[in-house]
Amino acid sequence: MKAKNTLNINKYYYKQVWRIAKQLANIWPYKAFDISVWINCTPRTWVPVTAYKKGELLPLFTQWPIYRSILPNELVIDLDPKDPNDWGIVRYVGSKIAKTLEKQKIPYNLWFSGHKGLHFHIFIDHKIIEDTLDVFEKIAKVEHGQINEDTLENTVNKYVNGIITYILPPYLRTLEIIDSCTFTSQKHLIKFEGAKAMKRHEKGFVFHGYKSHLTEIPSKKPKILLSNKVCFPKELVTWSLPTKKFEALILEVYKFQKLKQEKLKKLGKVINKKIDKEKLAKILEELQNCVFSDYRKQIYWLFIAPTEVLLNLEKIEKEGIETFAEEVANKWNEWFKQNYKVAPTNGHKLYQSWLKSVVKWIYNEKIKNGKTFDPCIGIVRKAVKEGHLLEGFISL
Q: Which amino acid is residue 197, in one-letter code?
A: A
The Cα 153–Cα 140 span in angstroms is: 9
List CB contacts of 51: < 8 A, sequence separation 6 or more: 35, 57
B/e letters for 164-197, b = 16+ CB within 10 Å, e = fewer, are bebbbeeebeeeebbebbbbeeeeebbbbbbbbb
Mean pLDDT of the residues in the chain: 78
Q: Does 74 score more than 80 pLDDT? A: yes
User: pLDDT at position 122, please?
Assistant: 95
The Cα 6–Cα 205 span in angstroms is: 23
Average pLDDT over residues 170-192: 69
Residues in the chain: 396
Residue 161 Cα distances to 72, 158, 390, angstroms: 9, 5, 38
The Cα 302–Cα 75 span in angstroms is: 24
Average pLDDT over residues 325-350: 67
User: pLDDT at position 371, please?
Assistant: 54
Of 165, 124, 168, residue with least CA distance to 253: 165
In this predicted model, what pLDDT tens digit does every residue of 287-324 receive, in sequence order?
Answer: 777 766 556 777 788 788 888 888 888 888 888 888 89
User: pLDDT at position 222, please?
Assistant: 94
Question: Does pTM top 0.85 for this prediction?
Answer: no
In this predicted model, what pLDDT tens digit does every residue of 29-57 receive, in sequence order?
Answer: 887 777 776 655 455 667 776 666 555 66
User: pLDDT at position 100, please?
Assistant: 94
CA atoms within 13 A on the CB side of 50: 3
Q: Which residues pair with 120 in a beta bridge?
A: 77, 110
Of 254, 250, 230, 234, residue with least CA distance to 242: 250
Quick one: DSSP state of residue 45?
A: E
% the chain with pLDDT above 70: 70
386 and 293 Cβ atoms separated by less than 8 Å = no
User: pLDDT at position 216, please?
Assistant: 95
Q: Does 7 score more than 60 pLDDT? A: no
Question: Highest-confidence range of 2-6, 88-92, 183-187, 253-257, by mean pLDDT?
Answer: 88-92
Q: Which residues pair with 189 in a beta bridge?
A: 69
In this predicted model, what pLDDT tens digit does every residue of 195-223 receive, in sequence order?
Answer: 888 876 666 678 899 999 999 999 999 99
Among 106-120, 207-221, 266-280, 352-366, which is the least confidently predicted range? 266-280
220 and 92 Cβ atoms separated by less than 8 Å = no
% the chain with pLDDT above 90: 25
Q: Is the Cα dihedral 347, 349, 352, 353 positive or negative?
A: negative
17 and 194 Cβ atoms separated by less than 8 Å = yes
User: pLDDT at position 227, please?
Assistant: 87
Of 218, 176, 198, 211, residue with least CA distance to 88: 218
